């Protein structure tokens, strides 16, 4: 919450100074600064929504669902990320798990978004979604070649409010962990700094 508040305060102080000095281009400066304030307010609203969502995760409605469809639906939200090469090994497959479709979609939205953010400065970003399966479980692997996670931060990754970014609530992966546990599954990761990260999601079949 403090992250958005700081630029809001600075913008307002700047406008106060411009108004006090009767600046000739006050109107232009006001429009620019107010747009920045509105953007930060939207960020705060998003953070409040994430806190609310974490506090009242609905009871899972377990049924047989196509994990292939859920992943394809999630990936469609990130089609604008055209510079990222995405390899989805679920393409053309119809694989079912026991889960809640809405909550599983939320899991993959958060994991994929996290991976895309980690590849912001990667010259040739590559996202790969693969899986292994047995009679009782399926493990989905979401692998990126982004910045990786430093060793000193690894134990905090699923902690609510933790984020390495200047924007966002830091609740995405905490929500993922809560949902996966509610579905009777689990989530973990492997990561090497500057090489990338793989998230593993274990679902019950």
Q: pLDDT tens string for the chain (205 positions)? A: 666 677 778 778 888 888 888 888 888 888 888 887 887 787 677 666 666 665 555 566 789 999 999 999 999 888 777 789 999 999 888 899 999 998 899 899 999 999 999 999 999 999 999 999 998 999 999 999 999 999 999 999 988 765 655 444 457 898 899 889 989 999 999 999 999 999 999 999 9
- 96 — alpha (psi -120 to 50), left (phi > 0) or beta? beta
Q: H-type helices in the chain, by residue range?
A: 2-20, 26-55, 67-76, 101-118, 172-182
DSSP 65: E
pTM > 0.85: no
């Amino acid at each position: 919450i403090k992250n958005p508040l700081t630029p809001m305060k600075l913008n307002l102080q700047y406008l106060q100074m411009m108004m006090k000095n009767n600046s000739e281009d006050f109107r232009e400066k006001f429009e620019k600064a107010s747009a920045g304030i509105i953007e930060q307010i939207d960020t705060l609203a998003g953070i409040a929504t994430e806190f609310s969502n974490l506090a009242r995760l609905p009871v899972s409605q377990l049924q047989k669902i196509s994990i292939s469809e859920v992943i394809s639906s999630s990936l469609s939200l990130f089609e604008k990320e055209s510079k990222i090469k995405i390899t989805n090994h679920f393409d053309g497959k119809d694989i079912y798990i026991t889960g809640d479709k809405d909550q599983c979609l939320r899991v993959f939205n958060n994991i994929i978004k996290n991976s895309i953010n980690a590849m912001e400065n990667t010259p040739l970003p590559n996202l790969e979604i693969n899986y292994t399966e047995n009679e009782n479980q399926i493990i989905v692997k979401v692998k990126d070649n982004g910045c990786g996670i430093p060793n000193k931060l690894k134990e905090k990754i699923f902690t609510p409010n933790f984020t390495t970014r200047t924007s966002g609530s830091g609740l995405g992966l905490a929500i993922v962990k809560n949902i996966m546990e509610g579905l009777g599954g689990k989530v973990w990761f492997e990561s090497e700094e500057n090489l990338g990260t793989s998230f593993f999601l274990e679902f019950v079949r």
